[in-house]
Structure 1
Amino acid sequence: MDKSKIPADQAEALGALMDDHRAVKKLFKAFKDTGDRHEKKSIALEVCQQLTVHATIEEEIFYPALRGVGDDIDDMLDEAQVEHQVAKDLIAAIEEDPAGDMLEANFTVLSEYVSHHIEEEEGELFKHAIKAKVNLRDVAAAMAARKEELMQQTA
């Protein structure tokens, strides 16, 4: 999705979520590109932290702001919640044993799963929110404040 084509009252919120998506995708690539086991562990833990914060913001603020706008959006939100739970399970497995033999497998599945989730979110959910003209200005401010709070807690 091209951020320059997002309407002004949605640009900050959707843009922030897209920025998170891009940051995690770069880390997925960095993990894949390195052969250093210590670096893989470090990248994996960074991704887990970023995804946990991102999912929390979406679940607490962004998704509720879209809930009830339309049946199609509600269906997408239901699916996203299930996808988040699967990602949380994989994150828990990685965080439980980041130096373990299953790191590569768990991280690979997490990256594939999250990449699919990002495609659906940006390709479907965001487009439906734009089409429904949902005003996300207040949502953007709440998301930014919550992200800052969560990042301080995990620092």
Structure 2
Amino acid sequence: MSDITKLILDDHDSFRRRFAALDDANGVDELRAIWEPLAAFLDLHAVAEEEVFYPNLLRRGDDAEDETVDAVGDHNDIRDAVHEAERHPIDSDEWWKAVHDARMANSEHMAEEEDEALADFRRNASAELRDDLGRRFAEFKKAHPGARDLDTGDKDPQGYVNEVEAGFEGHSEGSLGIGSLKGQ
């Protein structure tokens, strides 16, 4: 089974284990061997969620706009800390601070996502859709190993939601295509 919510949870478990492995690492080489793949994985995971998961949550979720704005903002915090770590020598005080910031932002994001967005999506999306999206999520990650070919820069959270919802206009499934009318 490739339910996207389960794949995202699997990634979260991997993040927790990899951050914990940094605590036990000895020396720069061991830190680098753990951190560099972890940093790339954090970037890849965020982009994969923004490409596959969050557009579908916006179509179906009960509180999807707020959850998505929050998640993209969290992704920005994680990206910023990951990219800050890249500016410093591994095992320096500045590097550890940036890694800590990435860890804290990621931990907060995972908790919110697990309790809110993933639960919301499970309530509102069929098992078939979750499996289809899981395959797409896995294929996306496989097609972009190391995330080197992806734009891992920050996104405007509300702009992201507006852009995704604008894409719903004229689509038969796009009941959220009226999202731009909310609040009017």
Distance 1:18 1:98 in 2: 31
Shift of 1:42: 2.7
| Root-mean-square deviation (Å) | 1.9
Q: Higher relative CO (CA 8 A, sep ≥ 6), structure 1 or 2?
A: 1
Shift of 1:94: 1.4
Paired residues, number: 145
Deviates most, 94-103 or 135-144: 94-103
Aligned to 1:27: 18
Shift of 1:142: 1.1
Is the partner of 2:76 in helix, strand or coil? Answer: helix
Note the residue ranges of structure 1 that are not aligned, 5 or more in a row. 1-7
- Does residue 41 (structure 1) correspond to residue 32 (structure 2)? The answer is yes
Distance 1:153 1:53 in 2: 5
Distance 1:98 1:144 in 2: 32
Q: Specify the structure having the higher radius of gyration (Cα).
A: 2
Distance 2:45 2:37 in 1: 12
Is the partner of 1:97 in helix, strand or coil? Answer: coil
Deviations 1:38-73 (A, max 9, x none): 322332212101111111100111111111324512
Note the residue ranges of structure 2 that are not aligned, 5 or more in a row. 149-184
**Cα distance, 1:152–1:106 mapped onto 2, change above 3 Å:** closer
Structure 1 runs of 4+ aligned residues shifted over 4 Å read none
- Does residue 88 (structure 1) correspond to residue 68 (structure 2)? The answer is no
Distance 2:110 2:33 in 1: 22
Distance 1:116 1:22 in 2: 14
Cα pair 1:80 1:117 within 8 Å, conserved:
yes
Aligned to 2:123: 131
Cα pair 1:48 1:95 within 8 Å, conserved:
no
Aligned to 1:150: 144
2:4 maps to amino acid: A
1:73 maps to amino acid: A
**Cα distance, 1:104–1:54 mapped onto 2, change above 3 Å:** same
Deviations 1:14-52 (A, max 9, x none): 111111111111011011123423322332212101111
Normalising by structure 1, report the TM-score.
0.84
Aligned to 2:97: 105
